[in-house]
Amino acid sequence: MRHKPYSANNQQGAVLVVALIILLMVSVLGLSAMRASIFSSKVSTGIQADTMTFDAAESAVAMSLNKLRGFNDSQLAAAVLNGQSMETCLLSDGTLKETACGDTDKMDSRELLRAGSYMVHRKNRCRMVAGSDVEVYRDYVIDVLGESDMQSYGIENNHLQEALKVGLDCIEI
């Protein structure tokens, strides 16, 4: 029996085809991983932007509640009672401007966020003061709406909270 010696001419390129198929599969897996990574990055950026606008609206509400807490009866009447409303804008230096936010008013140093609030007492919205036996004292129910937006991402957040401020002439009809 004669043995045929091994020769390079007998190869049909099977190893090359298998290697190319494996390379193609690894490339597809790599592209898939890159797409998933880019998608995850976009999602996390969106969540971060939404959290920032949420915090901005909450900051505007907190600053407005602090301002409201410091009002005496005449300041309260001028600001939000008798059909009046008050708008504020939170500025980057941490102060409140007592007007609505304009296009250039931003609350952060990167000038991404705009945040403000709107306070109003609707007529005859009063509650008894908790623990009070005298019906003359009532709490004014004041709605404080915090608004914020991040125009670069098209995200807006609104938060409504009720504030109670004691008053003598708040009569529920």
Other Cβ atoms closer than 10 A to 73: 13
Nearest to 143 by CA among 169, 168, 122: 122
Q: What is the mean pLDDT of the chain?
A: 84
- Across the range 147-156, mean pLDDT stands at 90
Task: Provide the residue ranges of all domains of the chain, joining segments of one domain with +.
Answer: 10-168
**Listed residue (47, 49, 62) closest to 159, CA to CA:** 62
pLDDT value of position 8: 57
| Phi, psi at 53, each rounded to 5° | -70, -35
pTM of this structure: 0.72
Averaged pLDDT for residues 107-124: 87
Q: For the chain, where are the alpha helices, taking DSSP H only?
A: 14-69, 73-79
What residue has token string 């198929």? Answer: 21
Higher pLDDT, 107 or 1: 107
Is residue 150 predicted with pLDDT exceeding 80? yes
Report residue 102's pLDDT band, with 50, 70 and 90 as the boundaries. confident
